Amino acid sequence: MSDHASRDDSAVADATLIDRTLAGEPAAFGELVLRYQDRLYNSLVRVLGSAEDARDAVQDAFVQAFVKLESFRGSSAFYTWLYRIAFNQAMSHARRKRPTRSLDLERTDRGREPVDGQPAPDARLNERERATQVHRALAELSAEYRQVIVLREMDGCKYEEIAEMLELPVGTVRSRLFRARLELRDRLASVVKDEVTRAVEDRC
Amino acid sequence: MAGNNQPFDFDDELLSAYLDDELAAEERARVEQRLAEDLRAKQLLEELRAVSQAMKSVPSATVGSDLRDSILRRAERAMLVPGEQSPAGGLGGVAKRIPFGRSKRAWIWAGMALAAGLMLMFFEREPERNQGLPDAVAKRDDTSQDEALFDRRSLAEERGEAEVDKLAAARPAAPASAPALAAAPAGAPASASASASAPLATVAADRGNSRLGGVGGSMAAAEDKAAEPSDAAQRLLVRVNVKPEALQNRTFDEVLERNQIEIEQPAESKSDREALAEVPQEPQDVDVLLLEAAPAQIASTLADLKADHANYLGIEVEDEGAGSQGTIANERTGYDFQQYSRGFVPLQQKVEVAPNFNYYYEAEQGPNRADRKLGRELEFAQQRSNDDRPRGLIRNRALRLKPQPTAQSGSESGSLAYKLRDQSAATAARPSAAAPAAGRFFGGTQMDLAHRAKQKLVAEAETLEVLFVLTAGPEQPANPPAAAKAVASPTAGEGLKNDDR
């Protein structure tokens, strides 16, 4: 995935930025914020189900990352570490708060990974409808499934990265992902059918 | 995930991993073989793929704004202020007591982060503060809040503007780093801004290793010495941009002196001096002072700063570090420190003498200064006459952490010595004596006095520890109006601030 290639490239720069931050140049951390705020937000908004919560969580995560930056060892990618902070935070937060059900669909305005072979939107579900359905289905998933599926599908993370972020064995990630997909398949029957049809058509 | 009653065998899970290309070669071969002969598996794979596609096709969400500003601000507070926690409480024990006085990085941060301004930190030793405060305390005075917000915003706008001015080269993080600094030389040599930050970082880093660590120790010691059962931190962050000349001339020292705060130059270690020497003739653009004083003195100092439009270009008092506990400083001490915030009053200076009566001038000094001199002498006389009061309860002292090149530094002891000048306990207890004539023309001090009169007087032993970081503000430009405009543009930077509350 080209997405990943670019991330690897930026890994070097991440380390540099971290060093510069530690040397007392907060602007460097600002760069990191800029680099990852949307990516983190995009995941968190799916996981938490609320734009407001996600926004808070993003900020909290960055603040904490800044404070704890000295403890970042560089054994994982910065983003992985950052996500773990956000995740732990969100978890401890969630314990105090009732789970949010309603998904906030605002600000889902920018496409990220265009699907290959853009289809004619004729009889098919339009983007918006589909997004709504996906969100609803996601919201109905259990939190542990939702975590992995979001990280995998929306953030494009590898199993190993997900395992690191969520502090789980890779095997668990794999099985959760599978189960999450099965559940989603059932909840998204129409979308899936649509997709399968499209896939078949595309092959013809 | 215990192996539970799944109706699918293990291989089906492989399909999902196959889809993600997360299988070892051998497993993949197995899956492919199975796909070739098992229609059901193929069907399932298609479905999984469809799910995956559906998920991926959801447009991604974006935050919708640049979070750097608010994040760095909060990070700054979290670093500098003991006990600072994220609203989510996420920092937990980790950051609980971190930085101030303990962490080297916090000190470096202090030096650098505040390149954009001056910061005051108030550590107030009030045992009760630790045990959470009554809700009433958390409720802010809306009016002062709004004013402060206004001022803060105007500062932020300047910062924003600064950021715009500054090129992509070293993009200044909005609040923290040195945007104002970097943008300072509106008409001045660009080299100054470009090169200033790097050596500065070096100096700060060096200091972090040597001196500031020592200061941290001293501070910790000071805290211990205070021997309060629990010294919860009270803080107020104030950033001030100082006119470069004023910074060079140590105008601020005068202000401190006027407020009965004496400054002790720290002994310079060799390495420090070398570090400083490496900074070429560049005028110093940061000045860091740590002081401890009574709230009245702090308030009075701030009032002085605020009144001196010529030298102190912008003051930003932040009292929101504690989040919901925001205005504790005000509540506890009876001072509304936030009222001392103000935006830049550039060059064409405007002073609101009375409602709807503004005074404009372009002088070096504010109109109140000459007057104040007289008042000050009286003040001093009065103060001196009070010198026979019980000593030792209110201390006030200041320590310059970052010596300026011109500093005729004291003993070469290598250790940091506070020069303590014990102040009469009455400093806090007698508001009229405590607050010099500073700002007498401006509602501020007067209101402050009235306010205080109503309040229970501060405990005699109460002192605040304060960290001042002064930085050079915009250069006094040859063509003032243009620079003034550039700095005060109200439109830029709005986006930066939009999430601050």
Q: Which residues pair with B397 in a beta bridge?
A: B292
Q: Quote the CA–CA distance of B90 and A143 in Å, as a whole number.
A: 20
Q: Is A91 on the interface with B (CB under 8 A)?
A: no
**Residues B341/B287, Cβ–Cβ less than 8 Å:** no
Which of A49, A72, A101 is the endpoint of a domain?
A101
- A195 with B205: Cβ contact below 8 A: no
Residue-wise pLDDT for B159-195, tens only, equals 443 333 333 333 333 333 333 333 333 333 333 333 3
Q: Is A191 on the interface with B (CB under 8 A)?
A: yes
Domain CATH number, residue A39: 1.10.1740.10
Domain CATH number, residue A169: 1.10.10.10
- Return the half-sphere exposure (C-beta side, CA atoms, 13 A cut-off) of residue B437: 16
State which of A155-164, B93-102, B196-205, B460-469 shows the largest mean pLDDT. A155-164
**Residues A64/B91, Cβ–Cβ less than 8 Å:** yes
With a pLDDT cut of 90, the percent of chain B lying above it is: 5
Give the residue-averaged pLDDT of B318-330. Answer: 48
Which residues neighbour B451 within 8 Å (Cβ) at sequence distance 6 or greater? B334, B335, B336
- When divided into structural domains, chain A yields a total of 2
Give the residue-averaged pLDDT of A157-161. Answer: 93
Gap between the terminal Cα atoms of chain B: 41
Give the residue-averaged pLDDT of B258-271. Answer: 60
Q: Regarding beta strands B394-400 and B263-264, do their DSSP bridges make them parallel or antiparallel, or are they unpaired?
A: parallel
Q: Is A181 on the interface with B (CB under 8 A)?
A: yes
Looking at the fold, whether A1 and A97 belong to one and the same domain comes out as yes
Partners of B201 on chain A (C-beta within 8 Å) are 23-25
**Residues B424/B390, Cβ–Cβ less than 8 Å:** yes
What is the distance in angstroms between the Cα of A113 and the nearest Cα belonging to chain B? 7
With a pLDDT cut of 90, the percent of chain A lying above it is: 35
- B50 with A195: Cβ contact below 8 A: yes
Looking at the fold, whether A123 and A97 belong to one and the same domain comes out as no
- B109 with A182: Cβ contact below 8 A: no
Give the residue-averaged pLDDT of A104-109. Answer: 39
Q: Which residue from A86, A36, A12 is spatially nearest to B68, judged by alpha carbons?
A: A36
pLDDT band at A103 (very low <50, low <70, confident <90, very high): very low
Q: Looking at the domain assignment, is residue A16 inside a domain?
A: yes
Tell me what pLDDT residue B296 has: 74
Tell me what pLDDT residue B265 has: 56
- Two tokens at B390? 């019980």
Residues 416-445 of chain B whose Cβ lies under 8 A from any Cβ of chain A: none
Q: Quote the CA–CA distance of B33 and B43 in Å, as a whole number.
A: 14
The domain containing residue A146 runs over which residues?
A: 119-204
pLDDT band at A81 (very low <50, low <70, confident <90, very high): very high
Q: Looking at the domain assignment, is residue A198 inside a domain?
A: yes
Give the residue-averaged pLDDT of B370-395. Answer: 46
Looking at the fold, whether A129 and A204 belong to one and the same domain comes out as yes
Q: Please give the backbone phi and psi of residue B172, each rounded to the nearest 5 degrees, phi first.
A: -75, 130
Residues 118-137 of chain A whose Cβ lies under 8 A from any Cβ of chain B: 127, 130-131, 133-135
Q: Please give the backbone phi and psi of residue B379, each rounded to the nearest 5 degrees, phi first.
A: -60, -45
Q: Quote the CA–CA distance of A179 and A185 in Å, as a whole number.
A: 10
Which of A69, A101, A133 is the endpoint of a domain?
A101
Give the residue-averaged pLDDT of B327-343. Answer: 64
Amino acid at A170: V
Q: Looking at the domain assignment, is residue A167 inside a domain?
A: yes
Residue-wise pLDDT for B95-148, tens only, equals 332 333 334 555 555 554 444 333 333 333 333 333 433 443 334 344 344 444
Q: Quote the CA–CA distance of B169 and B355 in Å, as a whole number.
A: 45
Q: Looking at the domain assignment, is residue A20 inside a domain?
A: yes
Which of A101, A128, A146 is the endpoint of a domain?
A101
Q: Looking at the domain assignment, is residue A143 inside a domain?
A: yes
Provide the b/e sequence for B390-424 (b: ≥16 CB within 10 Å). eeebbbbbbbbbbbbeeeebeeeeeebebeeeebb
Cβ atoms within 10 Å of A28's Cβ, excluding its own: 22
Q: Is B27 on the interface with A (CB under 8 A)?
A: no
pLDDT band at B2 (very low <50, low <70, confident <90, very high): very low
Tell me what pLDDT residue A159 has: 94
Looking at the fold, whether A134 and A48 belong to one and the same domain comes out as no
On the question of pLDDT at A165 being above 80, the answer is: yes
Q: Looking at the domain assignment, is residue A28 inside a domain?
A: yes
Q: Looking at the domain assignment, is residue A50 inside a domain?
A: yes
Residue-wise pLDDT for B196-250, tens only, equals 333 333 333 333 332 222 333 333 333 333 333 333 345 556 677 787 778 777 7
Tell me what pLDDT residue B249 has: 78
Tell me what pLDDT residue A157 has: 93
pLDDT band at A151 (very low <50, low <70, confident <90, very high): very high
Tell me what pLDDT residue B64 has: 85
Looking at the fold, whether A16 and A90 belong to one and the same domain comes out as yes
Q: Is A175 on the interface with B (CB under 8 A)?
A: yes
Mean pLDDT of all residues belonging to chain A? 79
DSSP assignments along B295-348, one per residue: HHHHHHHHHHHHH-TTTEEEEEEE--TTGGGTTHHHHHHS--GGGG-B----SS
Q: Regarding beta strands B312-318 and B237-242, do their DSSP bridges make them parallel or antiparallel, or are they unpaired?
A: antiparallel
**Residue of chain B minimizing CA distance to A69:** B105
Q: Regarding beta strands B263-264 and B349-354, do their DSSP bridges make them parallel or antiparallel, or are they unpaired?
A: unpaired
- B72 with A29: Cβ contact below 8 A: yes
**Residue of chain B minimizing CA distance to A65:** B75
Tell me what pLDDT residue A2 has: 40
pLDDT band at A82 (very low <50, low <70, confident <90, very high): very high
Tell me what pLDDT residue B210 has: 28
Q: How much is the ipTM here?
A: 0.80
Looking at the fold, whether A96 and A130 belong to one and the same domain comes out as no
SS (H, E, C) B134-149: CHHHHCCCHHHHHHHH
Give the residue-averaged pLDDT of A27-42. Answer: 91
Looking at the fold, whether A87 and A55 belong to one and the same domain comes out as yes
Looking at the fold, whether A10 and A57 belong to one and the same domain comes out as yes
pTM above 0.90?
no
Tell me what pLDDT residue A149 has: 94
Give me the helices (H) in B86-189, please. Answer: 92-96, 104-113, 127-130, 135-138, 142-165, 179-183
On the question of pLDDT at B269 being above 50, the answer is: no
On the question of pLDDT at B405 being above 70, the answer is: no
Tell me what pLDDT residue A181 has: 93
Tell me what pLDDT residue B282 has: 43
Cβ atoms within 10 Å of B480's Cβ, excluding its own: 16
Tell me what pLDDT residue A20 has: 86
Q: Looking at the domain assignment, is residue A74 inside a domain?
A: yes
Looking at the fold, whether A97 and A124 belong to one and the same domain comes out as no
pLDDT band at A67 (very low <50, low <70, confident <90, very high): confident
Tell me what pLDDT residue A172 has: 94
